[in-house]
Amino acid sequence: MNHNSYNFIKGIMTGALGSLVTGGLLVYTLNVTGFAVIQLPLESGLNALINFTYNNLKLSIIPFIALLIGYIVLLQQLQNQLQDSSYSIDQVAQTDHLIDTCISLFFGVGVIWTAIGMRSALMFALGDPETAAADGAFAILQRMVDGGILLALSTTIFGGVGGYLMRIFKSLFLGLRLQSYYSAQMQAQSEDAYQVLQRIEQHLQSLIQTKEKS
């Protein structure tokens, strides 16, 4: 299989996977928001996964998956740039920076949805202070769980664990090659600077010799 055929098949598979993920996220969003109801067998593993995701992450799974897809695409792009000498160090550094941004945003989504879940839980639990005081502590706790405290805790765990795993995977997958690339670029720049200094020194020596002869 030649290089062009490989790139063509890879492009088709990437497009199909992207369409599948996008379609899945759209269906999930419509199902969560109530615009569409997806009926699956109760014993289905997919149904259990959707229910678990909905109960713990709700709509936060959408930015999580979007950032994860962007992270994977950029990681593959960075790998290609490290293997192709036609890319400049600025392009490599920009891709590296975008990968780190995706990881930071992954943490950020967890923090943001934690705040959203806590706010929703507190407002739902203490919306009517007199009723909440009359119902007792257990009822308030139950309202907090129903109001979003589970979402807050789950997104904190998912964002934190996922973000650290993304960092670890980047270090294991491309860390050594990336460090070697930067070291080689710095060495090349040092050699260029040394050659420039040598030319300047030779030019000064020639000027001195010319002056001494005159």
Give the pLDDT score at 94.
94
Local structure of residue 145 (DSSP, 8 states): I
Average pLDDT over residues 90-114: 93
Per-residue pLDDT band for 137 (boundaries 50, 70, 90) equals: low
In the predicted structure, residue 26 carries a pLDDT above the cut 70: no
pLDDT in tens, 32-66: 555 555 555 545 566 677 777 777 888 888 889 88
CB 143 within 8 A of CB 132: yes
Higher-pLDDT residue of 151, 9 = 151
pLDDT in tens, 73-100: 999 899 999 888 888 888 999 999 999 9
Cα distance between residue 179 and residue 182, in whole Å = 5
Per-residue pLDDT band for 199 (boundaries 50, 70, 90) equals: confident
Average pLDDT over residues 107-115: 91
Cα distance between residue 168 and residue 191, in whole Å = 33
Where do the domains of the chain lie? 59-202
Give the pLDDT score at 47.
65
In the predicted structure, residue 211 carries a pLDDT above the cut 60: yes
Q: Where are the beta strands (DSSP E) in the chain?
A: none
Token pair 């995977």 in the structure block, residue: 169
Give the pLDDT score at 195.
78
Give the pLDDT score at 183.
86
Give the pLDDT score at 16.
54
Cα distance between residue 32 and residue 102, in whole Å = 25
Helices (H) and strands (E) in the chain, counts: 7, 0
Higher-pLDDT residue of 45, 179 = 179
Cα distance between residue 128 and residue 123, in whole Å = 9
